[in-house]
Amino acid sequence: MEKNVEEAMLSTLQDILIFQMASKGVPQSQIREAVGVDNNRVSRIARLAKKSGKKEE
């Protein structure tokens, strides 16, 4: 598999993990430590997860 494809797959899986953890109410600092990404990325995805959760209620 090409390096770019592997990186894209890893990035997508990290985004899914961040989204799921944020949806369950895990603090952003813990998400950042668990996934190993920067705080801006966690904040951006967590914001989407919270918006998504509000529509379902």
Burial of 21 (0-12, 13-18, 19+ CB in 10 A): buried
**31, 42 contact by CB (below 8 A):** yes
Residues, the chain, total? 57
* 56 has a pLDDT exceeding 80: no
Separation between Cα atoms, residue 47 and residue 2, nearest integer Å: 31
Kindly state the tokens that stand for 28.
């952003």
The answer, as to whether pTM is greater than 0.75, is yes
Task: Enumerate the H helices of 1-57 as residue ranges.
Answer: 3-23, 28-35, 39-56
Q: pLDDT by residue (tens digit) across 5-28?
A: 999 999 999 999 999 999 999 999
